[in-house]
């Protein structure tokens, strides 16, 4: 896992985009994670030199040298661990990326406001790894709404496919390059 850089300007840009978007179809959090999603896209694109295309279509978020990458992100208040899960909503199976990139946003605090979890103080953006769609759905476990993760008491909101971080493809060096095993 690797921490990738972010700036205050990126945070402002992500919040502005999220404010204008509203709720996304097929979103696990029904739009509640839009700012986090945009933040992950912006930081990943800046780090890799990719182009954000999520405003133009919904099958993937980033293009790098013809490679279509869909960003999946989770918010946390602790650094991610290998036994934590990454997730893809079952309703997102229509997407057609060449590769998924999984990121975690680590915040210094969270709490409930009007019954909804709010995160504050972005500390780190973690690039956890990659997975090709066919490999992800072959290896992932389908969770149903109400299923609870015994490790952290997370309750699934929707049908989703979960996979532990340690099963992601993580090249020895992420660098600014595409995964070493791609093409």
User: Beta-strand (E) ranges in 18-91?
Assistant: 51-52, 62-64, 67-76, 85-89
In a domain, 174, yes or no: no
In a domain, 173, yes or no: no
Count of domains observed in the chain? 1
In a domain, 182, yes or no: no
Report the predicted TM-score, pTM, of the whole model to 2 decimal places: 0.84
Burial of 97 (0-12, 13-18, 19+ CB in 10 A): buried
Which domain range does residue 100 map to? Answer: 2-167
In a domain, 98, yes or no: yes
Cβ atoms within 10 Å, residue 94: 9
Q: What is the pLDDT of residues 121-154, one digit of tens each?
A: 899 999 999 999 999 999 999 999 999 988 778 8
pLDDT at 27 over 80: no
In a domain, 129, yes or no: yes
Q: Could you tell me which of 38, 12, 65 has the C-alpha nearest to residue 183?
A: 65
Between 167 and 113, residue with greater pLDDT: 167
Tell me what the pLDDT averaged over the chain comes to: 83
């Amino acid at each position: 896992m690797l921490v990738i850089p972010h700036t205050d300007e990126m945070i402002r840009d992500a919040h502005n985009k999220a404010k204008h978007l509203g709720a996304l179809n097929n979103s696990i959090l029904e739009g509640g994670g839009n700012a986090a999603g945009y933040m992950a896209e912006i930081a990943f694109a800046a780090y890799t030199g990719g182009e954000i295309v999520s405003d133009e279509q919904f099958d993937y978020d980033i293009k790098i040298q013809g490679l279509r990458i869909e960003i999946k992100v989770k918010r946390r208040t602790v650094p991610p661990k290998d036994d934590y899960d990454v997730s893809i909503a079952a309703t997102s199976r229509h997407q057609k990326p060449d590769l998924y990139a999984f990121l975690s946003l680590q915040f210094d605090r969270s709490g409930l406001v009007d019954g909804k979890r709010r995160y504050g103080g972005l500390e780190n953006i973690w690039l956890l790894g990659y997975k090709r769609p066919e490999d992800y759905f072959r290896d992932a476990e389908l969770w149903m709404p109400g299923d609870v993760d015994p490790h952290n008491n997370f309750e699934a909101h929707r049908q989703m496919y979960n996979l532990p971080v340690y099963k992601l493809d993580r090249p020895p060096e992420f660098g600014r390059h595409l995964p070493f095993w791609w093409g």
